[in-house]
C-alpha cells in the first residue's frame, strides 16, 4: 500500500512541475528574456542542465513504478529540446504512472530489482524505492525547483509540495 502512495506522490510532484513552468514562463515574459534559456541553467558547470534534470526526474518516477511492479520499463529517449517538449515528456510519464494500481506493488518486499549500472547486484523493490528511487526523484525535482528559484522565479514550498491529503 505505501509503495503505491509513494508512486502517487511522485505523480503529484510531476504535476507541480507545470505550476513551476507556468511561473517561470511568466517571469521570463515579465523580465523580457526567452523562457527557453532556462533549459540551460546549471547549479555547477559539471552538473546536468535544467532540461536533463527534468528528464531525469521523469525517469526516476517511471523506473520506480515499473521496477517495483516487476514490469518492463518503457524507453523515453532524451530528445526534448524545448519547454513544450519537456512538458509533453512530463505528461507522458504522468499518464504512464497513472496505469499502476495499488495491487501492482503487492509482494514488493520480496521482489528483486536491478539497474544496468549495478553489474548484477540486486535490491528488494522496497529497498530500491526507499533508498534509491525516492532520494533520486526528489534530488532532481529539487534541483529543477532551485534552479528556477535561484534565477528569480517566484515559486514557494507550497508549489513544491502540492495539495496535502487532509482528512
| Neighbour-count burial for 58-67, b at 16+ CB within 10 Å, e otherwise | bbbbbbbbbb
Give the number of other Cβ atoms within 10 Å of residue 142's Cβ: 15
Among positions 47, 85, 98, 103, the unique one binding its own copies when judged by CB under 8 A: 47
Asked whether the beta carbons of 42 and 147 are under 8 A apart, the reply is: yes
**CA–CA distance, 143 with 140 (Å, rounded to integer):** 5
Binding mask 107-126 for its own copies (x = CB under 8 A): --x--x-----x--xxxx-x
Decide: is 22 part of the binding site for its own copies (CB under 8 A). Answer: no
Phi, psi angles (nearest 5°) of residue 124: -70, 155
The least distance separating its own copies from the CB of residue 135, rounded to whole angstroms, comes to 6
Q: Which residues bind its own copies (CB under 8 A)?
A: 1-3, 5-6, 9, 12-13, 43-44, 47, 109, 112, 118, 121-124, 126-127, 130-132, 134-136, 138-139, 142-143, 145-146, 149-150, 152, 157, 160-161, 164-167
Amino acid at each position: 500500500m505505501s509503495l503505491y502512495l509513494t508512486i502517487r506522490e511522485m505523480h503529484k510532484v510531476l504535476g507541480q512541475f507545470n505550476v513551476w513552468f507556468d511561473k517561470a514562463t511568466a517571469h521570463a515574459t515579465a523580465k523580457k528574456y526567452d523562457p527557453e534559456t532556462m533549459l540551460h541553467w546549471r547549479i555547477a558547470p559539471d552538473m546536468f542542465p535544467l532540461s536533463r534534470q527534468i528528464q531525469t526526474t521523469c525517469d526516476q518516477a517511471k523506473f520506480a513504478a515499473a521496477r517495483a511492479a516487476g514490469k518492463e520499463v518503457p524507453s523515453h529517449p532524451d530528445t526534448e529540446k524545448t519547454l513544450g517538449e519537456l512538458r509533453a515528456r512530463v505528461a507522458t510519464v504522468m499518464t504512464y504512472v497513472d496505469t499502476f494500481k495499488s495491487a501492482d506493488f503487492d509482494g514488493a518486499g520480496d521482489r528483486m530489482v536491478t539497474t544496468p549500472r549495478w553489474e548484477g547486484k540486486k535490491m528488494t523493490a522496497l529497498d530500491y524505492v526507499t533508498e534509491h528511487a525516492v532520494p533520486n526523484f526528489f534530488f532532481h525535482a529539487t534541483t529543477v525547483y532551485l534552479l528556477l528559484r535561484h534565477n528569480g522565479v517566484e515559486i514557494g514550498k507550497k508549489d513544491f509540495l502540492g495539495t496535502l491529503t487532509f482528512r
